[in-house]
Amino acid sequence: MSDFLILSEAGVYAIPVREEDQAIAGGGMLLFSPLSGYVAAAERGEVMMLQKVISGGLPAATVPGAEQLLEGLFAFGRGQVLHHYREPGQGDTLSILPNQKCNFSCSYCYSAKGRSDSELSPEALRAMLKYFIDPARIEPCELNILIAGGGEPMLSWPLISAGLDYAADLAAESGFKLYIRIITNGSILNEEIIRTLLRHRIRVCVSFEILEELQQKQRGAFRKVHKHIRTLISRGIIPEIFTTITPAGVERMEEMLEAVHHSYPEVKKVNFDPVMDKRLFTGTEDLSAFYRSFVRNYFRAWEAFRDKGLETGNTILEKFSRLRDRFCPGYLCLTAEGTLSLCHKVSSPSDPAYDRYCYGSVTLSGKPDMDQVKFDRLLQYNAAHFSECNDCFARWHCGGGCLACRDHFSVEQLLEVCNFHRDMLYNLLIRKPKNHCM
């Protein structure tokens, strides 16, 4: 980065292209301007000349293509940056974690230590929905509701079903639209559930390892989940599949997509995310090798199926679709205890970080009690807070990284997480049309 300090200070990053990627990238370097979304291929000498133009050492007119390139690189204004919220309770997204119960024992589960019989009370759920779907809080728009775990949300189906009906009534009264997702392990399904999903047009996401061997090893109940996915499809509910990639499956992503294409051809999207469990790695080198393998196999699978009607998703890449100053802006996550956590990954009193992440609680009389000071303390952890983000070309997409991830990994391991984020963005950029905006 030091060779291109003038560019980086101007918000443009010169990214060396690996030799094996130069044919697809179109040059030995990429010029990337996050704030304009512009990507251009260049050679090192051209980049050095461009620096001289920017510093005033050369007229732009004397360098072929420089004026057009500069116009693209500095056309800042590629959409509004998603800034983190300044007050708790802002935003259009609510996560509901209805319980801490689960009928699975997934080998890598981040919330396994938090298991209990806790379940959100119907009164607390109604109070939170009434606050969230309220034109006095936010002007009528499309609101996002995610129902997840915690535990397995379908174990609290009567609570969820009543909440869905209540939310729909509130939205209809005030002119809101609702976009609702449920993430489930796919083991619980019946006719009443299907009818409710259809009535409210719920988007269903099934956590599933796809390959029977991996499902049985890491989650269990392969045949039941397979049957329920087929049942959902037969009733017109096309689920997305969310697969957690562990070292056992990292080399098999293309095989997973082939299995989906064969067994569930109606499915349009499979999401692959790397596991967040440091216990699975013997050390930093092991974690680094896993991330490198993930990137290599993810993009190999993506390229193999991108023209077959099967989208390959990834949470990190989806974050890259919008500029942000923080990994997440500060969501409302309603826990089974009736508290508000900054992150759905930290939702149980058994979690050591629970008290630090919880900044409020539901009240039955109206607006939740929310601690502004505590909220500010949590939200300060963003791209501007971490010095290592200053010269990183992924800073406007990563936003300083997930706070729960930072808390989970050691300092040394976190360097590999950052390298992984950069490598994902790098692989996205080399595949983008050059001299175009993202």
Section 217-232 average pLDDT: 98
The helix/strand/coil state of 337 is coil
Mind giving me the DSSP string for 64-106? TTHHHHHHHHT---SS--BPPPSSTT-SSEEEE--BS--S---
Tokens of 33: 């301007």
Section 71-97 average pLDDT: 83
Q: What is the edge-to-edge ordering of all strands in the sheet holding 436-437?
A: 13-16, 29-33, 38-42, 436-437
The predicted structure's pLDDT at residue 111: 60
Q: Return the ∠ at Cα 107 (arms to 103 and 109), rounded to 5°.
A: 70
Q: Residue 27: what are its φ and ψ, rounded to 5°?
A: 175, 175
Number of neighbours of residue 397 by Cβ within 10 angstroms: 24
Displacement of CA 245 from its chain's centroid (Å): 14
* Buried/exposed 25-58: b ≥16 CB within 10 Å, e otherwise: bbbbbbbbbbbbbbbbbbeeebbebbbebbeeee
Q: Using the predicted structure, report yes or no on whether residue 297 has a pLDDT greater than 80.
A: yes
30-74: per-residue pLDDT in tens? Answer: 999 888 888 989 899 888 888 888 888 888 788 777 887 888 887
Question: What does the alpha-carbon distance between residue 310 and residue 305 come to, in Å, rounded to a whole number?
Answer: 6
Greatest CA separation found in the chain?
72
> Which amino acid type is present at position 182?
I
Domain boundaries, the chain: 1-78, 93-373
Pairing assessment for the beta strands 142-147 and 177-184 based on DSSP bridges: parallel
Helices 284-305 and 253-263, axial angle in degrees (round to 10): 40
Per-residue pLDDT band at 79 (split at 50, 70, 90): low
Section 102-106 average pLDDT: 85
Section 204-217 average pLDDT: 98
Tokens of 9: 């200070």
The predicted structure's pLDDT at residue 436: 61
Assigned CATH for 93-373: 3.20.20.70
- Residue 43 is given by DSSP the state -
Section 2-8 average pLDDT: 78
Could you tell me which residue, 107 or 212, shows the higher pLDDT?
212
The predicted structure's pLDDT at residue 72: 80
Q: Are 204 and 237 in contact, with CB atoms under 8 Å apart?
A: yes
Q: Using the predicted structure, report yes or no on whether residue 212 has a pLDDT greater than 90.
A: yes
The helix/strand/coil state of 342 is coil
The predicted structure's pLDDT at residue 438: 57
Tokens of 331: 């969501």
Per-residue pLDDT band at 81 (split at 50, 70, 90): confident
Task: Find out whether the peptide bond into 150 is cis, omega within 30 degrees of 0.
Answer: yes
> Which amino acid type is present at position 149?
G
Q: Using the predicted structure, report yes or no on whether residue 310 has a pLDDT greater than 50.
A: yes
Could you tell me which residue, 71 or 101, shows the higher pLDDT?
101
Question: What does the alpha-carbon distance between residue 401 and residue 405 come to, in Å, rounded to a whole number?
Answer: 7
Q: What is the mean pLDDT of the chain?
A: 92
Could you tell me which residue, 76 or 192, shows the higher pLDDT?
192
Q: Are 253 and 245 in contact, with CB atoms under 8 Å apart?
A: yes
Section 208-223 average pLDDT: 97
Of all residues in the chain, the percent with pLDDT exceeding 70 is 96
Could you tell me which residue, 312 or 432, shows the higher pLDDT?
312
- Structural element, H or E, at residue 301: helix 284-305
Q: Which residues pair with 184 in a beta bridge?
A: 206
Poorest-pLDDT segment among 6-20, 53-67, 114-128, 398-412: 53-67
Helices 191-199 and 222-234, axial angle in degrees (round to 10): 50
386-411: per-residue pLDDT in tens? Answer: 999 988 999 989 999 999 999 999 99
Tokens of 112: 């396994």
Q: Using the predicted structure, report yes or no on whether residue 78 has a pLDDT greater than 60.
A: no
Q: Are 33 and 70 in contact, with CB atoms under 8 Å apart?
A: no
The predicted structure's pLDDT at residue 1: 47
Q: Are 238 and 206 in contact, with CB atoms under 8 Å apart?
A: no
Q: Using the predicted structure, report yes or no on whether residue 115 has a pLDDT greater than 80.
A: no
Q: Using the predicted structure, report yes or no on whether residue 222 has a pLDDT greater than 70.
A: yes
Section 108-115 average pLDDT: 67
Q: Are 73 and 31 in contact, with CB atoms under 8 Å apart?
A: yes
Could you tell me which residue, 56 or 217, shows the higher pLDDT?
217
Distances (CA, A) of 240 to 87, 186, 272, 351: 33, 11, 11, 29
Section 290-300 average pLDDT: 98
- Residue 13 is given by DSSP the state E
Q: Which of 69, 32, 44 is nearest to 54 (CA)?
A: 69
Q: Using the predicted structure, report yes or no on whether residue 368 has a pLDDT greater than 50.
A: yes
Q: Return the ∠ at Cα 331 (arms to 347 and 385), rounded to 5°.
A: 100
The predicted structure's pLDDT at residue 71: 80
Section 264-281 average pLDDT: 96
Q: What is the edge-to-edge ordering of all strands in the sheet holding 93-96?
A: 311-313, 269-274, 240-245, 203-207, 177-184, 142-147, 93-96, 332-334, 339-341, 358-361, 369-370
